[in-house]
Amino acid sequence: MKVKIDISCSPEEARAFFGLPDVRGINETLTEEMTKRLKENLSELSPEAMMGQWMSLGGKMGEQFMGLMSGMVKGEPTDKS
């Protein structure tokens, strides 16, 4: 025997029915804050800025990065362990 129940309701109605809290306000606040932070830090996501940060860590990081890229081009495994 099969029983099929089809309930048509909005997400808000379902939350209220099950007694779950309304999180729209928190969601909007978090989304606004994340958008603000992303806009503030967007310049740091540019390839030039990222390479500048990597290169500022010293020549060794640059060498490792170039080794990784050259290994990928040659098809060598990147994990030496």
Whole-angstrom distance, CA of residue 67 vs CA of residue 60: 10
Q: Is 80 exceeded by the pLDDT of residue 10?
A: yes
Confidence of residue 1 (pLDDT cuts 50, 70, 90): very high
pTM of full prediction above 0.75: no
SS3 74: helix
Residues 51-80 have a mean pLDDT of 71
Distances (CA, A) of 12 to 5, 16, 37: 19, 6, 29
Q: Can you give the residue ranges of every domain in the chain?
A: 14-74
List alpha helices for 1-81, DSSP H: 11-18, 24-40, 47-56, 59-74
pLDDT at 51: 73
| pLDDT tens-place string over residues 20-49 | 998 889 999 999 999 998 888 777 677 777
